[in-house]
Structure 1
Amino acid sequence: MRKPIVRIILIVIAILAISCKDKTQHISEEKTVSVNSDFESMLKNYYEDGLKLNPVNATMSGDNRFNDQFPNPLSSGHIALMKAYYTEYKEKVASYDRSILTDAQKMSLDILTWECDINLDHLSFKNFEYFPIDQMWSINLTFGQLASGAGAQPFETVEDYTNWLARVDGYLEWLKNAEINMRKGAAEGYVLPKSLIKKVIPQLKEMTVSDINEHLFYAPIKALPDNFSDEDKKMLADNYKSMIEENIIPTYKSLYEYMAGDYLKAGRISTGISEIPNGDNYYKHQIKLYTTTSMTADEIHELGLKEVARILSEMEKVKTEIGFKGNLKDFFNDVRSNPKLMPFKTPAEVIANFNAIHETMKPQLEKLFDKKPKTPFEVRQTEAFREKSASAEYNPGSLDGTRPGIFYTPIPDATKYNVYSDESLFLHEAIPGHHYQISLTQENTELSDFRKTLWYSGYGEGWALYSESLGKELGLYTDPYQYFGMLGAEMHRAIRLVVDTGMHAKGWSREKAIQYSLDNEAESEAGIISEIERYMANPGQALSYKIGQLKIQELRKKAKSSLGESFDIRQFHNQVLETGCVPLALLEAKIDTWIQNNK
């Protein structure tokens, strides 16, 4: 009789234990859900507070709540708000216990920590205050795109038109503040090189044209919707005319006269950022910002020299295949000037060629990607006001997919447009480069909002350059000139490692950097000069492409070697793309975990 009783007691104890365990687990799950929900709310608040501080970012992503706002990022009040914002969220994110977060939330925690740290570091330098305008990267160029009526700023309702007038008021404060800061900066040794100032001057002058009908800021009035009343049309036309004549032209004229006069006289003859106060430390910050690594300028310079040598040997093979008899430098010159590689007469033909490249690769995309973006895609010519100093680029579509992703290509003279690198260029800027990468991120409903618009150049440009290497797998590069174009594009990025660090850390002059590029790639001299001056304006940005590409190639090789026959290139691409832009160390940790889980 004792055994059944003992058995019953043991069963009861077991049931009670399971019950207690279930209750404990339930309480633990409730706690986890509660904390996770709180963490998600914190991420949402970070994103929303960020849009209020930079409402143009909201407009660019298709969020129209703040289209009338432009807080002056150069004002002391706004700078204080930015510092407080990153400090507050750095403290908040540090208060969460990693052990009760999901893997996705741990990634968000690490990314947000990085965001706060790198931005606080950025705000500790004077560069963003004293170099508010350059020939390529500054707010005035973005604002010009919005003003044209063909950018992200909507011009569909009367309210849209009045929102823009209000936003222009804030922008004018920034323009005035920019001139004040440049005067202060010049007095303290923070001044642009003369060669860059000369490129900015005509950009500013174009905004001083007195013919209102030809003014960029009047473009939206020339495209007034037909459903506007005559009264509204007249009111808006009058207001825009007054805005341009009384505010835009005088403010731009003042800035233009200063830059063409005293600022140009004060302009630096030196090239690198190390020549300004605290320049060496600023360059270290820029390297970390754009590569998301702890690499030094010396390490990057040596890596660049090795990559240049490797790619040169590959170029020799293509030269031999084509049958060119001269040396490689002669071949560069031939590619630059070969009339067979400049077959077009109109910009429309250039655009059509890019669309044809897309059609060629469409059947092969399935083999490499099982996820494709829903966001529409277009190829457009770069707007005339910035075309002469612009590079080809991608502008993301809106978060809701209603505005397409746009690949802009400058075509200042279609008869001189060289096609030899168009296939690699399309792979980089368009598909599967930036369009796949950015659109898939924006469309991922599992990502927190703040992750959908992040940009880390090491990852983002690294993916785009990696995409260029997929050409043969996508049915491209059948023409040896186009394959040479891919090698040329890769060489272009390898050269960047050498010349960027050369100018900003090793005392290279602008002219030495230009000559090094001419000696090692087939880009036109005008194109190379524009590129070198681009690196001068934004130190470190040019390093991100090759550093990121090499890391992704390394991870692909590691995954293929570890997984063997079970390696699926489509799943690897999903792993790289699904989390959106992340610092490279976090991407590597993610891929390593994926490999271990799939062995």
Structure 2
Amino acid sequence: MGLNRAQIAPLIALLASSAIAPSALAQEAPRLATAPMATASVTARSEDQKLMLLFAHDAKRDRQLNPLQAIYRGEAADPALVAQTFTDALDRRELAAVRLSLSALSRIDRRRLSPERQISFDVFQGDKRTELEMLQPDVLALTSVRPLTHFGGLHVEFPSLVAGALPFRNEADYRAALALEKVMPKVLDQAVTKFREGLSSGVVDSRLTTSNMIAQIDALLAQKLEDSPFYAPILEFPKAVPESARPQLARAYADTILNEVYPAYRRLRNFLANEYLPAARTQPGISAMKGGAGLYRKLIKVHTSLSLDPEEVHRLGLGEVARIQREMEDVKVRLGNSGSLRQFFDVLRTDPRYHPKSREELAKGFALIARTVDAQIPHYFYKVPRTRLEIQPYPAYREKYEAGGSYNQGSADGSRPGVFFYNAYDLPSRFLTGMATLYLHEGAPGHHFQISLAQENTSLPDFQRFGGNTAFVEGWALYAETLGYSMGLYKDPMQHWGTLDDEMLRAMRLVVDTGIHAKGWSREQAIEYMLANSGMGRTDATAEVERYIAWPGQALAYKVGALTIQRLRRKAEADLGPKFDLRAFHEQVLGSGALPLPVLEAKIDRWIATSR
């Protein structure tokens, strides 16, 4: 979810620029500060207004610095701003803007804020401090020079935007999208410039990640024009586009793709293959990279919102793996197998009854699960998203390099639905057992509920509506999987096994991510660990491990976040007893956007105290 402006872009929401003059904020804040305050509530409203004004200015700067993110919010993206992607000038503007926001925040009296805005203050302050740290020159020297990876790089995200996220309602939309396609060559060339800086400084990515990027570009370039995601909007025009304009638009798109976009992709591909790959590091772990060990600890905190020692995380993972294996032993027997777990893993991989026979079987299965979950939702939530949820297979050009499923958010106004993508590539490697838990995680009530409810809540500032840390986002989705027990989805031992297998995946991530990036594990060692401790197929295990290699620390957030939410629920149940309301608890967890885990815990503690 989300776009990679640079290596740190999927890690933090980079905000603020010098495009909005600080004088506007400086002039407005004193006026609000000196307004009459007759009561404490008036004081809170006034201080809240000052804070929200600060947030509004910050959001405007954010739009100047992250124009592609506007597309996910259903807004237009300025091609001139997109063209600044992967430049030092943009980095400098981001750093200046973060400092401006922190300076303005220091003039806000947190004690005078309402409880809701105190949460906003804490989230904003924490985010800005993290951004400030990640935008320091010594950190950028390790991140900005690796602008693309095979997992979520802009070279694959932008085609997806054109094919699935940009609006194509009228002729103006088509011309706006064409303008974006025309700046992509410049952006890709600037990415090459950044890669070359890394070559000069000795900070390079792994050969594995580089080879995968080359393969992705080859797959994109191998498509005929009519099959290209860049050309997809031309295949079916809406009625609002005049018949007279359609031939000219088709020619303009074809000319741009064939003579500008594809040549830029070829330049990127040739650079990666001929110059970068020979110099890329052989070891997959980031600790093998210059400055990588220190960067890994920073990335752990970015993704989990907690300062965690890699060795402690590794031990936690080993303990969770052992616990889940004990539960697997019981379910294995219910499935009629008396052999060892390792033997049963091999049975799962080869026995046809555990695998889909067709793409249609997957489509029908997910549709049935969705209907079952929908019927249960009123027992778990007071609020549900207005945004629709659709279920689709991955497009052919992406499926080979994707995990078993993912979620693409809808627009904030609900006009574009959220999409749960499932992977139908290499059907013998897909499992029927994991369908329920996958839908709960990626669809409802996992990512779709959390993301949609946040961005539909216009009372929240933008960074709470559209931002968030990985531990909350993925922790909630993993927690959502556990609701399948009380929903009755896991009474079927096949689906019960599936949720344990998926929980095992998140536990193994604690072991494997730290193994690769802190303990020097090889790609093959990590894959074999996952095959030995779960029933996942080699294709999935390989894709997972290669994802961890490309995105250090992100995989830790799932289990860390879920364990936190589960612990807070148990705490609320114990303290409130019969007063505990699960729907109210879920509303508290989701009602303020994706909070850093310490801020979430403080919020739940206050809710428990007032609910008594």
Q: Return 253-262 or 514-523, whichever deviates more.
A: 253-262
Q: 2:235 aligns with which of 198, 222, 237?
A: 222
Tell me the CA shift for residue 358 of structure 1: 1.4
- Alignment match, 1:288: 301
Q: 1:503 aligns with which of 500, 512, 516?
A: 516
- Alignment match, 1:581: 594
- Alignment match, 1:101: 113
Residues 445 and 217 of structure 1: is their aligned pair in 2 closer, same or farther, counting only changes over 3 Å? closer
Q: Deviations over 1:521-563 (max 9, x none)?
A: 1111111011001000010000000000000110011111111
* Aligned AA (1:133): L
- Alignment match, 2:571: 558
Q: 1:70 aligns with which of 82, 107, 115?
A: 82
- Alignment match, 2:145: 130
- Alignment match, 1:312: 325
- Alignment match, 2:175: 162
> Is it true that 1:592 corresponds to 2:605 in the alignment?
yes
User: Does the 8 Å contact 2:436/2:495 carry over to 1?
Assistant: yes
Aligned-partner SS, 2:483: coil
Aligned-partner SS, 1:26: coil
* Aligned AA (1:138): G
Aligned-partner SS, 1:380: strand
Residues 33 and 190 of structure 1: is their aligned pair in 2 closer, same or farther, counting only changes over 3 Å? same
Cα distance in 2 for residues equivalent to 1:567 and 1:312: 31
Cα distance in 2 for residues equivalent to 1:95 and 1:418: 55
- Alignment match, 2:269: 256
- Alignment match, 1:143: 158
Q: How many residues align?
A: 574
Cα distance in 2 for residues equivalent to 1:263 and 1:480: 48
- Alignment match, 1:409: 422
Cα distance in 1 for residues equivalent to 2:155 and 2:279: 22
Q: TM-score, normalised by structure 2?
A: 0.90
Please give the residue correspondences for 1:177-576 in structure 2 after superposition, counting only pairs within 5 Å: 177-209=190-222, 211-345=224-358, 347-391=359-403, 392-414=405-427, 417-576=430-589
Cα distance in 2 for residues equivalent to 1:335 and 1:506: 30
Cα distance in 2 for residues equivalent to 1:299 and 1:451: 30
Tell me the CA shift for residue 516 of structure 1: 1.0
Cα distance in 2 for residues equivalent to 1:319 and 1:218: 48
Q: Deviations over 1:304-324 (max 9, x none)?
A: 111011111111111122221
Tell me the CA shift for residue 382 of structure 1: 1.0
Tell me the CA shift for residue 294 of structure 1: 1.3
- Alignment match, 1:4: none
Tell me the CA shift for residue 593 of structure 1: 0.8
Q: CA RMSD in A?
A: 1.8
Tell me the CA shift for residue 176 of structure 1: 0.2
Q: Deviations over 1:381-433 (max 9, x none)?
A: 11111111012111111111111111011212446532110011011001111
Tell me the CA shift for residue 452 of structure 1: 0.4
Tell me the CA shift for residue 457 of structure 1: 0.6
Cα distance in 1 for residues equivalent to 2:363 and 2:133: 41
Structure 1: runs of 5+ lacking an equivalent: 1-22
* Aligned AA (2:106): A
Q: Deviations over 1:541-588 (max 9, x none)?
A: 000000000001100111111111111111111111111101000000
Aligned-partner SS, 1:378: strand
Cα distance in 2 for residues equivalent to 1:578 and 1:83: 30
Cα distance in 2 for residues equivalent to 1:521 and 1:210: 36
Q: 2:95 aligns with which of 70, 78, 83?
A: 83
Residues 93 and 69 of structure 1: is their aligned pair in 2 closer, same or farther, counting only changes over 3 Å? same
Give the number of the structure whose alpha-carbon radius of gyration is greater.
1
Q: Deviations over 1:53-84 (max 9, x none)?
A: 11111111112364775143211111111111
User: Does the 8 Å contact 2:429/2:539 carry over to 1?
Assistant: no
Identity, % of aligned pairs? 36
Q: TM-score, normalised by structure 1?
A: 0.92
Tell me the CA shift for residue 31 of structure 1: 4.8
User: Does the 8 Å contact 1:291/1:544 carry over to 2?
Assistant: yes
User: Does the 8 Å contact 2:305/2:596 carry over to 1?
Assistant: yes
Cα distance in 1 for residues equivalent to 2:69 and 2:236: 24
Residues 67 and 61 of structure 1: is their aligned pair in 2 closer, same or farther, counting only changes over 3 Å? farther
Tell me the CA shift for residue 208 of structure 1: 2.9
Q: Return 398-407 or 40-49, whichever deviates more.
A: 40-49
User: Does the 8 Å contact 2:400/2:425 carry over to 1?
Assistant: yes
User: Does the 8 Å contact 1:379/1:407 carry over to 2?
Assistant: yes
> Is it true that 1:118 corresponds to 2:133 in the alignment?
no
Tell me the CA shift for residue 491 of structure 1: 0.6
Tell me the CA shift for residue 339 of structure 1: 0.4
Q: Deviations over 1:108-147 (max 9, x none)?
A: 1111111111112222322332211211121122101012
- Alignment match, 1:11: none
Q: Deviations over 1:184-223 (max 9, x none)?
A: 2123222222222221112112333484323331221122
Cα distance in 1 for residues equivalent to 2:401 and 2:410: 23
Tell me the CA shift for residue 360 of structure 1: 1.7
Cα distance in 1 for residues equivalent to 2:566 and 2:240: 53
Residues 27 and 216 of structure 1: is their aligned pair in 2 closer, same or farther, counting only changes over 3 Å? closer
Cα distance in 2 for residues equivalent to 1:62 and 1:92: 29
- Alignment match, 2:16: none
User: Does the 8 Å contact 1:344/1:417 carry over to 2?
Assistant: no
Aligned-partner SS, 1:217: coil
Q: Return 219-228 or 366-375, whichever deviates more.
A: 219-228
Q: Deviations over 1:153-198 (max 9, x none)?
A: 1112111111112212332211001112212212322222222222
- Alignment match, 2:14: none
Tell me the CA shift for residue 506 of structure 1: 1.3
Q: Return 204-213 or 444-453, whichever deviates more.
A: 204-213
Q: Return 251-260 or 396-405, whichever deviates more.
A: 251-260
Tell me the CA shift for residue 344 of structure 1: 3.0
Aligned-partner SS, 2:144: helix
Cα distance in 1 for residues equivalent to 2:342 and 2:42: 68
Structure 2: runs of 5+ lacking an equivalent: 1-34
Residues 227 and 189 of structure 1: is their aligned pair in 2 closer, same or farther, counting only changes over 3 Å? same
Q: 2:56 aligns with which of 35, 39, 44?
A: 44
> Is it true that 1:153 corresponds to 2:161 in the alignment?
no
* Aligned AA (1:63): E
* Aligned AA (1:558): K
User: Does the 8 Å contact 1:69/1:167 carry over to 2?
Assistant: no
Cα distance in 1 for residues equivalent to 2:573 and 2:447: 24
User: Does the 8 Å contact 2:297/2:308 carry over to 1?
Assistant: no
Q: Deviations over 1:231-261 (max 9, x none)?
A: 3112212211221122112111111112222
Tell me the CA shift for residue 446 of structure 1: 2.5
User: Does the 8 Å contact 2:170/2:240 carry over to 1?
Assistant: no
User: Does the 8 Å contact 1:72/1:170 carry over to 2?
Assistant: no
User: Does the 8 Å contact 1:361/1:475 carry over to 2?
Assistant: no
Cα distance in 2 for residues equivalent to 1:443 and 1:210: 37
Residues 429 and 210 of structure 1: is their aligned pair in 2 closer, same or farther, counting only changes over 3 Å? closer
User: Does the 8 Å contact 1:58/1:66 carry over to 2?
Assistant: no
